[in-house]
């Protein structure tokens, strides 16, 4: 039995790789029933390793819990018949096929699904959408970081434009898809009708360009590469201390004055070069040198604890091992363990209907027979589908 805020919502998930599976894991964490429908070769992230566990990579394990798995060849008419059977009881279909793929199979939303399943919310994730000069082209996170300007604001003069170290476009697109699906489900409560949710990596990447896009709209000037620093605030940067690196993030003049007092240099806050945020931005290189000298011999972690207690944003730069074993991470239940599976926790904390991890990431085709029985297939029919390669219990090797 599923529990949680989305209990009773049934999702047919045709997505692979990252954005879509990340979306459906968040929905599944809060009780939605997720049927992960994989192609005959399986979700390619199963092979994105090492490391591997239980026949699948860590990459796959990180974004596919709280789902059941069915392997289905949609290239065959009988495979599409199985999909239509699944959709009869579904609230949501999410897919990330190239534009036109479902339409070629006679399964386009406007073409057939809208009329056949009027309450269905159909979410499509693509690289660039259907229209525009890049419409229909495939999209990949790093390429979108380049094409949508994210790389152009990351890095410094020495490195040049750099890719962010996490696949931020794919992850943010997954979250946008989840939000769009929930909006459509909420609207369905009023209208009784489903709708098409169009999510693209490009649109999401452009929406992430804050504050750089806002600055460009006002000035028309491209930002320069400033590494860890903030384009509008200072001090908002990384500094080295005796015990390691820390990050200071003063967002207003009051925090700045308190920082100067705590560091034993209250006169810095009265210096005309540093008095206001605009002053500090104009003289940021000089201020950086002043702060670097003040911080060099400090115990960074102890200093950050003191500054946070004073309401001054500051934190040590931790590696993953420190973060994932930190007492606060554990206290916030941001590491979950389930029968040998370990993953990051559920970040949306609902008090009355909390999310939770109840299923390990599924093996390839692990629940195929179970799911087919639930939608009305008999044992002989199931065996025939498996024997004919419409439903698979083992990945089909590429030719």
Which residues have a catalytic role annotated? Answer: 170
Look at residues 129, 133, 106, 107 and name the one whose alpha carbon lies nearest to residue 197: 129
Torsion of CA 8, 11, 17, 20, to 10 degrees: -80
Q: How far is CA 24 from the centre of its chain?
A: 10
Q: How far is CA 368 from the centre of its chain?
A: 27
Q: Locate 173 and state its tokens.
A: 């697109």
Question: Could you tell me the sign of the dihedral formed by the alpha carbons of 111, 112, 113, 118, in that order?
Answer: positive
CA–CA separation, 154 and 131 (whole Å): 29
CA–CA separation, 284 and 274 (whole Å): 9
Q: Locate 57 and state its tokens.
A: 């990579």
Q: Using CB atoms within 10 A of its CB, is residue 365 exposed (0-12), middle (13-18) or buried (19+)?
A: buried
Q: At what angle do helices 300-309 and 253-262 cross, to 10 degrees?
A: 130
CA–CA separation, 331 and 336 (whole Å): 11
């Amino acid at each position: 039995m599923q529990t949680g805020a989305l209990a009773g919502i049934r999702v047919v998930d045709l997505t692979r790789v990252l954005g879509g599976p990340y979306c459906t894991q968040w929905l599944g964490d809060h009780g939605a029933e997720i049927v992960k429908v994989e192609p005959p070769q399986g979700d390619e992230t199963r092979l994105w390793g090492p490391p591997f566990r239980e026949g699948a990579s860590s990459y796959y394990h990180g974004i596919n819990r709280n789902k059941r798995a069915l392997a289905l060849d949609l290239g065959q008419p009988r495979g599409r018949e199985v999909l239509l059977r699944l959709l009869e009881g579904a609230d949501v279909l999410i897919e990330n096929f190239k534009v036109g793929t479902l339409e070629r199979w006679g399964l386009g939303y406007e073409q057939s699904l809208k009329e056949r399943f009027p309450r269905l919310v159909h979410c499509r994730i693509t690289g660039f959408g259907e229209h525009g000069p890049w419409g229909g082209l495939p999209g990949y996170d790093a390429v979108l970081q380049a094409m949508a300007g994210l790389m152009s604001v990351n890095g410094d003069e020495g490195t040049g434009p750099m890719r962010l170290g996490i696949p931020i476009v794919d992850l943010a697109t997954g979250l946008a898809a989840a939000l769009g699906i929930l909006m459509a489900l909420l609207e369905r409560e009023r209208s009784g009708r489903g709708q098409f949710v169009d999510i693209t990596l490009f649109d999401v990447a452009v929406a992430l360009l804050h504050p750089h896009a806002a600055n460009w709209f006002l000035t028309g000037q491209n930002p320069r590469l400033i590494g860890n620093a903030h384009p509008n605030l200072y001090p908002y940067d990384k500094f080295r201390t005796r015990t390691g690196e820390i990050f200071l993030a003063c967002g207003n003049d009051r925090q700045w004055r308190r920082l100067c007092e705590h560091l034993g240099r209250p006169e810095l806050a009265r210096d005309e070069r540093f008095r206001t945020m605009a002053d500090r931005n104009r003289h940021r290189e000089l201020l950086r040198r002043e702060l670097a000298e003040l911080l060099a011999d400090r115990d960074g972690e102890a200093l950050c604890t003191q500054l946070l207690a004073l309401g001054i944003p500051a934190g040590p730069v931790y590696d993953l091992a420190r973060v994932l074993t930190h007492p606060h991470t554990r206290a916030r239940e941001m590491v979950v363990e389930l029968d040998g599976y370990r993953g990051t926790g559920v970040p949306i904390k609902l008090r009355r209907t909390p999310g939770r991890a109840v299923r390990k990431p599924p093996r390839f085709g692990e629940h195929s027979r179970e799911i087919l029985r639930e939608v009305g297939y008999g044992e002989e029919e199931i065996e025939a589908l498996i024997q004919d390669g419409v439903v698979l219990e083992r990945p089909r090797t590429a030719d």
